[in-house]
């Protein structure tokens, strides 16, 4: 379905979408440490189509912020109902959103409204959009980290960003693309690549995405990967 501008405006205004949440695990004890929020909308076949359309109509920042707030609200209600506050929530954010000068203060305002705290929030820099203004983005990333937020690089190794940009961002967390977890137990080159990236980003926590078999999970743990995510561990779900 092709969304015209009015359709998109109504979708944003009415928040006609929801979120599912995929757990992120500590691989050593198989305990959940965080949930990644993933947007779902019945009006489109995939969230990528929705965000691409929003970008073409100049509505990406607006959609990004409404999605962030709704995910925070859903997560806050879940924690309140279960009496748990130790979990973190990981939110996908576009680079063009991060570079908006008001974004850090606006995000903090939204977080405060839900009763969460910045130290519970991981911001995953979405790899599907080119980084146009690296210096400005790094300035806001520093502000966000000073406020207590954590910053993650998403899908590292997929090739979306040059290595120089990845190193410049100085992220707290690096999420390795699912390419590396697929058949990891059988492919020594992928094992070596993961070891190399763990050394390269030794000051960051590493999360391996896309773990789908027990064999690949065992190999990830053997290599020293501490955190993981994937269908073998848990599928995205409503909270």
The reported pLDDT for the residue numbered 85 is 66
The reported pLDDT for the residue numbered 83 is 57
Nearest to 144 by CA among 192, 92, 196, 103: 103
The answer to whether 34 and 89 have CB atoms below 8 angstroms apart is yes
pLDDT in tens, 172-193: 999 999 999 999 999 999 999 9
The reported pLDDT for the residue numbered 239 is 87
pTM of the model: 0.92
Phi, psi of 154 (to 5 degrees): -95, 145
Question: Average pLDDT for residues 29-37, to the nearest whole number?
Answer: 96
Q: CATH classification of 5-228 is 3.40.50.970, yes or no?
A: no
pLDDT in tens, 41-54: 888 778 888 898 89
């Amino acid at each position: 379905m092709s969304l015209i501008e009015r359709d998109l405006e109504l979708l944003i205004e009415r928040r006609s979408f929801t979120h599912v949440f995929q757990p992120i695990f500590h691989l050593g004890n198989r305990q959940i440490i965080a949930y990644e929020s993933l947007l779902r909308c019945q009006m489109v076949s995939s969230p990528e189509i929705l965000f691409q359309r929003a970008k073409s109509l100049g509505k990406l920042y607006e959609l990004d912020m409404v999605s962030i707030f709704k995910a925070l609200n859903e997560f806050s209600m879940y924690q309140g109902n279960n009496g748990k506050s130790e979990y973190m929530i990981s939110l996908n954010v576009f680079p063009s959103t991060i570079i908006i000068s008001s974004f850090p203060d606006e995000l903090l305002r939204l977080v405060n409204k839900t009763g969460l705290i910045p130290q519970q929030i991981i911001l995953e820099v979405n790899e599907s959009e080119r980084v146009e203004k690296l210096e400005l983005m790094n300035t806001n990333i520093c502000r966000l980290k000073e406020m207590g937020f954590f910053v993650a690089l998403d899908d590292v190794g997929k090739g979306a960003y040059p290595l120089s940009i990845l190193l410049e961002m100085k992220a707290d967390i690096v999420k390795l693309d699912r390419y590396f977890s697929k058949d990891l137990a059988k492919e020594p080159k992928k094992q070596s690549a993961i070891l190399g990236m763990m050394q390269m980003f030794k000051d960051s926590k590493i999360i391996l995405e896309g773990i789908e078999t027990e064999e690949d999970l065992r190999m990830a743990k053997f290599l020293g990967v501490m955190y993981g995510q994937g269908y073998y561990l848990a599928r995205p779900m409503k909270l």
